Amino acid sequence: MPDLSVFTLNVWGIGCGISADREPRIKAISHFLASNSYDIVLLQELWVPSDYTSLRSFTKDVLPYQHFFDNGIIGSGTCVLSKHPILVTYIFVH
C-alpha cells in the first residue's frame, strides 16, 4: 500500500488587520509548502482570496491541483492543495 503524506494547518488568515503579520505568515507558509513534498495539504482560516492566490502561485509546481472553497457569503476559509487530481469538491450544508 502506498504512503500518503498529508499536512493540515490553521493559517490564522483573517483580514482587516485582525490577524497580526498575516501577509508575511502566508508567504512563509507558501515557501514551506513549496519546499516540502506533501501529497495533500489542507488549510483552514485562509479568509483573504489574495492570500490564496499568492499561496497558489508559490506552490503550483509541487501541488498543481488546488481548490479554494469560496461557498457562502464570506467563504469557508478552507482550501485543498494536492499533487494528485481533485476529482470532486463540494460542501454539504444542512
Parse the chain into domains and list their residue ranges: 6-82
Asked whether the predicted pLDDT for residue 94 surpasses 90, the reply is no
With beta carbons less than 8 A apart as the criterion, state whether 74 and 49 touch: no
- The Cα 28–Cα 41 span in angstroms is 15
Answer with the residue of higher pLDDT: 10 or 92: 10
Cβ neighbours of 79 (radius 10 Å): 21
- According to the model, what pLDDT value does residue 91 have? 59
Q: Are 7 and 36 in contact (CB under 8 A)?
A: yes
Rounded average pLDDT over 45-56: 92
Quick check: 73 pLDDT over 70?
no
Prediction pTM value: 0.87
pLDDT band at residue 65 using 50, 70 and 90 as cut-offs: very high
